[in-house]
Chains A and B, each alone.
Chain A
Amino acid sequence: MRIGTVDIPENLSYTNTHLWIKMQNGICTLGWTDYIQENAGDVIYLELADIGTPIEVDQEFGSIETSKWVDKLYSPLNGRVVEVNKKATSRPEVVNEAPFAEGWFVKIEPQSEIGFQHLMSPLEYFEYLKLCEVE
């Protein structure tokens, strides 16, 4: 699925803070969507929580900076960080180059079925981006 030049892969879930989430073998991988990486600019600094860090919904798990902008990264789920993408922290431009592949942020082991922020389907995220564009 695409909106303009922006990719919305159909096998992922999305948050309203423009994170994508992929659930596989009981582990959630989180990353930045194509939309936000396209709009925020070239990533020059990425800081991520350490492996083992317990994370709750809406709790900060990192921060990301472009040349003139910065924001914190907030978790959409409860759990524990089990893997951190060191390649992305040492070479942040990979977040722009491959947001859905080598540019992922962290892998989180969810604490339970509950404790997930509302996630959007690709279609819902598509509609949400239309609203973002209007704003």
Chain B
Amino acid sequence: MASPDTVRLSIAAAITLGFKRGKFYRNARLGCINLLMEYDDGCKANCLYCGQAREASNDPECKSLIRVQWPSYPLADVISATKEAALTDSSLQRVCISSLTSPGAPEDLLKIVKEVKTGTGLKVSTLITPTAFKKSDLKAIKDAGAENITIAVDIATPELFNKLRGKEARGPHKWDRYIRGIKEAVEVAGNGHNAVGVHLIIGLGETELESVRFIQTCYDIGSRVHLFSFFPEKGTAMEKQFQPPMDQYRRIQLARYLIDRGLTQFDNMRFKSGRLADFGLPTRKTLAIVRQGTPFMTTGCSGCNRPFANETPTQAMQGLFRNYPFPPDPKDIQIIQNQLKI
């Protein structure tokens, strides 16, 4: 079986929909049901940090993505379970459908979007790769009812992109095509930053300056950045690499938030040896924003909170949340302030 007849569900979604047993640390509630398309021959790309990569050592039946397994279910069962869950769980706001790099992906994603939209009535996001999706595909997806189009650029610089996802990684992706893809998505879905998202992973070898410059570029194009913290996936070429330092991730979260809210921009910030040294705002104002806690919550389409996707529950228990899936409480904020080192 393969998509569009079946899809993979994140473990969090499988628990929320009752397909798997389990609960969430600190009673986190999932806001978005994440689906992942699947094919017998897997993903054609070979991104070195990704559990779905063509050359990752796991077989197709047990490949992980963002830290956990994604069990497979018939799409019809997922749709009916989502519809039923949404009736009683007000946290559930959205379904996000992630495509793989595969020639049939545009046509299959379109079918899934139509069925999910009709079957659940929830908002629908799509995660696409410009390598496989043309502008006309994006338009068809929007016309089918998807409110959001998201592109996982993942990497902040063209050099690193080529090294980890492109030719040097024996992968098909090209930086220029991805940047053009963001522009096409903005043209199709409209500006306003809410309709088009760009995934960026922190901790793949980039400097803080490079991350923030890329974030600013995405906003200038008319899209919004969704942040991820690198987590080493077992079986990938980067399984032995460490997560990025917490202070680095916190500063990028804060910079992204300030740009997102139009409070500052890249040109106003100062960097020392590639590290963020000044956010371009008075320190008192910056610290007041930090104390709100919002900059350190999961970023994504509305409702998306991906609980414990970039850290283990044990790390979260130790105060090492990467993305808070709920508003941080006063104790969390104290920890965040210590981690930020500003």
**Do the beta carbons of B314 and A40 come within 8 Å of each other?**
no
**Do the beta carbons of A38 and B21 come within 8 Å of each other?**
yes
- Whether, in the assembled complex, A51 has its beta carbon less than 8 Å from a beta carbon of chain B, the answer is no
CB-CB < 8 A to A39: which residues of B? Answer: 21-23
Please give the number of chain A residues whose Cβ is less than 8 angstroms from any Cβ of chain B in the complex: 15
- Whether, in the assembled complex, B121 has its beta carbon less than 8 Å from a beta carbon of chain A, the answer is no
CB-CB < 8 A to B68: which residues of A? Answer: 67
- Whether, in the assembled complex, B31 has its beta carbon less than 8 Å from a beta carbon of chain A, the answer is no
CB-CB < 8 A to A71: which residues of B? Answer: 25
Give A72's nearest chain B residue, CB to CB: B317
Assembly CA distance A42 to B314 (angstroms): 15
Give B307's nearest chain A residue, CB to CB: A68
Contact of B20 among A41, A63, A70 (CB under 8 A): A41
Assembly CA distance A66 to B24 (angstroms): 9
- Whether, in the assembled complex, A97 has its beta carbon less than 8 Å from a beta carbon of chain B, the answer is no
**Do the beta carbons of A41 and B22 come within 8 Å of each other?**
yes
**Do the beta carbons of B23 and A65 come within 8 Å of each other?**
no
Assembly CA distance A132 to B13 (angstroms): 23
Assembly CA distance A123 to B308 (angstroms): 36
B149-175, CB < 8 A from A: none
Contact of B23 among A63, A68, A72 (CB under 8 A): A68
Q: Digit string of A1-45 for contact with B (CB within 8 Å is 1, else 0)? A: 000000000000000000000000000000000000011111001
For residue A84, give the distance in angstroms from its CB to the closest CB of chain B.
19
- Whether, in the assembled complex, B313 has its beta carbon less than 8 Å from a beta carbon of chain A, the answer is yes
- Which residues of A line the B interface, CB within 8 A? 38-42, 45, 63, 65-72
